[in-house]
Structure 1
Amino acid sequence: MIEKNGTWELVDIPTEKTVIRVKWVYKTKLNLDGSVEKNKARLVAKGYAQKLGLDYNETYAPVVGLDTIRTLISLAA
């Protein structure tokens, strides 16, 4: 699905940058009766492999908290 949705692109590694490795995490979702509903997989970065002061400069996670959304909506109202 990652390839199908076009959520990533393969690029050459810049010589001045280090690469953070990734890992696949698998989970099986079950119905109430114990039967398999679906299998899920996600690709996660191994952030623990970062070196302090070297790999932390360009870390970004585009996540908005629920409180921020509520505040923006109340200001717009």
Structure 2
Amino acid sequence: MQFLRNKTWELTELPKGKSVLGVKWVYKTKLHSNGEVDKNKAGLVVKGYKQKFGVDYEEIFTPITRLETVRLLLSLAAQKGWQVHQMDVKSSFLNGFLEEEVYVEQPPGYVKN
């Protein structure tokens, strides 16, 4: 699991005055074009709707690349003879840094005292 491998979190006691965010599992079935099941996927998401702006967080940022930007960079690379590498980051959010402390409950089915 990427969370453990990247040391993204640690189990701790909830300090006084801090609130905890709940989590839930989200399941999705990926299908082939003919309708057959390709694979089942599961993801753990935080119920962030309980957070309050200005109390629990100050800003929201989601890095998104526009297709026009990708085309521009590829055309520059072709003109300049640059090498282009591709990579797929499935867990890029694990590499971000938070200034705030965030407390999340243990996922359902995960119990460690």
TM-score range, shorter chain: 0.5 to 0.7
RMSD value, Cα: 2.9
Tell me the distance in 2 between the aligned counterparts of 1:8 and 1:20.
16
Match in the other structure for 2:106? none
Tell me the distance in 2 between the aligned counterparts of 1:11 and 1:20.
14
Give 5+ residue unaligned stretches, structure 1: none
Write out aligned runs for 1:1-77 (5 A): 1-2=1-2, 5-6=5-6, 8-12=8-12, 13-51=14-52, 53-57=54-58, 63-67=62-66, 70=69
Identity of aligned residues (%): 43
Q: Shift of residue 2 of structure 1?
A: 4.2
User: Would you tell me which structure has more strand in proportion to its own residues?
Assistant: 1
Change (3 A) 1:41 1:51: same
Tell me the distance in 1 between the aligned counterparts of 2:48 and 2:60.
12
Tell me the distance in 2 between the aligned counterparts of 1:33 and 1:65.
31
Q: Deviations over 1:6-35 (max 9, x none)?
A: 464332122231001011100000111111
TM-score by length of 2: 0.45
Task: Point out which structure has higher relative CO (alpha carbons under 8 A, 6+ apart).
Answer: 2
TM-score by length of 1: 0.60
Q: Please say which structure displays the higher CA radius of gyration.
A: 2
